[in-house]
């Protein structure tokens, strides 16, 4: 991967932050997009031997995504890997939630992926590069209390699977990466019924896969040009397997699992 150009959205924390570090250890050049550029500057200071471009990017804004790609080309002249990682979550019953929350989830998670991919695709085709979408197990099974989140992740998976087939003869590599529950800020920043952030995670983050381990798996999957990556056995691979063979059972197991969360919106 030495000297390849990697674009990562949502690089200011969590999996995106860890991905930047992991890719940097392979000798790549980085283009990092996020709204909190002060955190990107901090990350840049931690990677003194890596050539890094920082671009303030709100992926829900099409022009921000266009500028991220254009500035990357101006600086590096190519794009080898695009990692669509930026995303937000929610925690609210659909019957109670303000529809603006669902719209915001789709704007950030789905349309952010669409916008960045649209502008990066011509350059990825030139390099026969890798297009990556970081989704979630919620992109394989509907999670109660997270309707907008699951909908956006299902949409990303369908979008990327379709693009893979469209470009089957053009050398484009498409990876759909689905971590299980991973320690990050995503639950603290999850939106509630009125669109405000919940502020506290309802789960024990110390018992989850670390962002660093997740990033290592994703980078290895890119290197091996895998089409799909499902992480963790119980909450990942087993869940997807049960969804295919025993969907009604999985519905009950998922409900009971999510209902155990502190202050769960349903019981």
Q: Could you write out the DSSP letters of every residue in 240-251?
A: HHHHHH-HHHHH
- Token pair 């979630």 is at which residue? 136
Return the DSSP state at 25.
T
Q: Using alpha carbons, select from 24, 257, 33, 32 the residue that is nearest to residue 145.
A: 257
**Active site residue: 115, 123, 140, 149, which one?**
149
Is 17 an active-site residue? Answer: no
Q: Using alpha carbons, select from 262, 161, 186 the residue that is nearest to residue 17.
A: 186
Longest Cα–Cα distance of the chain, Å, equals 53
What are residue 132's DSSP bridge partners?
A: 83, 175
Q: Using alpha carbons, select from 172, 67, 74 the residue that is nearest to residue 127.
A: 172
- Residues marked as catalytic: 149
């Amino acid at each position: 991967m030495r000297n390849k150009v990697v674009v990562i959205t949502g690089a200011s924390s969590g999996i995106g932050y860890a991905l930047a570090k992991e890719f940097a250890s392979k000798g790549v050049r980085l283009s990092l997009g996020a709204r909190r550029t002060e955190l990107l500057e901090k990350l840049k200071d931690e990677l003194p031997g890596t050539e890094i471009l920082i671009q303030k990017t709100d992926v829900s804004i099409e022009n921000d995504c266009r500028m991220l790609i254009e500035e990357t080309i101006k600086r590096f002249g190519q794009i080898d890997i695009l990692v669509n990682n930026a995303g937000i979550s929610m925690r609210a019953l659909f019957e109670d939630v303000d529809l603006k929350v669902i719209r915001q989830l789709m704007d950030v998670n789905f349309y952010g992926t669409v916008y960045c991919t649209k502008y990066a695709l011509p350059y990825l085709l030139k390099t026969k590069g890798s297009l990556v979408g970081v989704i979630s197990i919620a992109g394989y099974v509907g999670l109660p209390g997270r309707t907008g989140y699951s909908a956006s992740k299902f949409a990303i998976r369908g979008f990327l699977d379709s693009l893979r087939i469209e470009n089957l003869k053009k050398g484009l590599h498409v990876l759909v990466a689905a971590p299980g529950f991973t320690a990050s800020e995503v639950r603290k920043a999850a939106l509630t019924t009125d669109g405000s952030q919940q502020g506290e995670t309802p789960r024990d983050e110390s018992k989850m896969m670390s962002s660093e381990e997740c990033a290592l798996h994703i980078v290895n999957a890119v290197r091996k040009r895998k089409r799909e990556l499902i992480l963790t056995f119980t909450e990942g691979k087993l869940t997807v397997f049960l969804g295919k063979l025993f969907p009604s059972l999985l519905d009950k197991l998922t409900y009971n699992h999510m209902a155990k969360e502190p202050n769960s919106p349903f019981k």
